[in-house]
Structure 1
Amino acid sequence: MSKTIGVLLAGCGVFDGAEIHEAVLTLLFLDRAGVAVRCMAPDMDQLHVIDHLSQQEADEKRNVLVESARIARGEIQDIAEVHATDIDALIVPGGFGAAKNLSDFAVKGPECTVHAEVQRLLTEMVDAGKPIGAICIAPATVVRSLADRSPKVTIGNDVGTAAAIGTMGGEHVDCSVADIYVDEKNRIVTTPAYMLGPGIKDVAIGIEKLVDKVVSLC
């Protein structure tokens, strides 16, 4: 029976949603691995909308689930409808949406709160012993959600973010863009991706390793 891997999206676009390259590479490598994919996102307004051409905040509202549906080609559901019993693993691509919509880490740092449904699903996954993959800045939200498990993650080598992860109860491990870090105890796999970059060919190496590891842990 084919494994089903959940992909948790946070909108569409690096500055206010899911990082599109990271999300698409995740979907590509999952498809190559021959697994079924279930995309999901919270049904909520984005923190804000960024014009990706000017990189300035725009005076409009957008819904995280509706925007995420662009990446998922419409095949997506509200995270509130997804439980750990429905999937064998969960992967969270990065982009500022992971730290603005899935949590408010981008605004509040270590004092952030995590979206209730994101918190619920991440906790369910760890309680069930099912693997979690987190890419780029997404590990910060995972650490905040699972602080009581003292997760070990990487976001690359950014000193400020690494310190915040420590403050939240996690442990940061420096890592290159081409590598992954595996928290064997909690079954959490992380890779820096665009926290280091610089380009899509570079981030693809670590993301492919992360996907392969997550699938193998199922």
Structure 2
Amino acid sequence: MAAVRALLAPRLVAAASPFAPAPGLRPLLLTGPAPASRAAFHGSAPRPGPRVALVLSGCGVYDGTELHEASAALVHLSRGGAEVQIFAPNIPQMHVIDHTKGQPSESETRNVLAESARIARGKITDLAQLSAANHDAAIFPGGFGAAKNLLCCIAPVLAAKVLPGVEVTVGHEQEEGGKWPYAGTAEAIKAMGAKHCVKGVTEAHVDQKNKLVTTPAFMCETALHHIHDGIGAMVKKVLELARK
């Protein structure tokens, strides 16, 4: 799973705190504050949250977006106070997979935007309308749809494809008895000239130079809450960068 600054928008750099400071609470005063203090207190307002584009690639792990990754990202973005707008390309899917069998359904055709709208609860925009000027960061949940409907491979590899020398993680580089079944992806990343950084499933890697954050997510065979925690770590780092 990958998150990048909004199409490399130059305003996005690292910040020290993961969340914007909440307005402070004042103790109850029997006499009330002085007029000037009262005006200052009521005049303060929380900073607007970072504007994040979530880019989907369909609905379903084998032919679209991995639902749990998208949902976890939305939960952590909501908790972090981000303003989220969801996008997907208005194109036909590469193919449709019957998820009960893991096989293509030859007679079906589906639209990526229409399928992604299921995850977005209908609140979705054509990816062609995404503008870097309107967002502080973009997040790409994984799933095979990122390979089939967006570009060449799973989400972190998208960054390796378009950003020379970028640092990303897809977890470990050895299968370790099946715990990391897609470990070979690390070699594909290196072959593109990018640097692969070994990380655990609950961790995220930050490429400070390119303002890119990645996490292994379902590259690892593990309990769902570990995936959720890793995505939370990624979102936290993204919001730190976006709030600077």
Please state which band the TM-score falls in when normalised by the shorter chain: 0.7 to 0.9
**In the aligned structure 2, how far is the partner of 1:86 from the partner of 1:213?**
20
The structure whose Rg is larger is: 2
Partner of 1:2: 49
**In the aligned structure 2, how far is the partner of 1:79 from the partner of 1:86?**
13
- SS of residue matched to 1:101: helix
Residue 55 in structure 1 maps to residue 102 in structure 2: yes
Shift of 1:52: 0.6
**In the aligned structure 2, how far is the partner of 1:103 from the partner of 1:197?**
24
**In the aligned structure 2, how far is the partner of 1:160 from the partner of 1:35?**
34
Partner of 1:185: 209
- SS of residue matched to 1:215: helix
Shift of 1:197: 3.4
Partner of 1:144: 161
2:190 paired residue among 166, 175, 189: 166
Residues 22 and 193, structure 1, Cα contact 8 Å, conserved in 2: yes
Partner of 1:199: 223
Residue 69 in structure 1 maps to residue 117 in structure 2: yes
**In the aligned structure 1, how far is the partner of 2:193 from the partner of 2:123?**
35
Gapped regions of structure 2 (runs ≥ 5): 1-47, 174-182
TM-score by length of 2: 0.74
Q: Runs of at least 4 residues of structure 1 off by over 4 A?
A: none
Whichever residue aligns with residue 96 of structure 1, its letter is F
| Equivalence map 1:7-156=2 (5 Å) | 7-59=54-106, 60-105=108-153, 137-147=154-164, 150-156=165-171
Shift of 1:146: 1.8
Deviations 1:56-112 (A, max 9, x none): 10021111111000000011111110111111111110011111111133xxxxxxx
Deviations 1:116-145 (A, max 9, x none): xxxxxxxxxxxxxxxxxxxxx310112112
Share of identical aligned residues, percent?
47
- RMSD of aligned alpha carbons: 1.1
Deviations 1:142-190 (A, max 9, x none): 211223xx10000012442111111112111111101111111101000
TM-score by length of 1: 0.82
Whichever residue aligns with residue 145 of structure 1, its letter is V
Partner of 1:117: none
Partner of 2:199: 175
Q: How many residues align?
A: 185
Deviations 1:29-58 (A, max 9, x none): 101111110100111111111001111100
**Is the helix fraction higher in 1 or 2?**
1
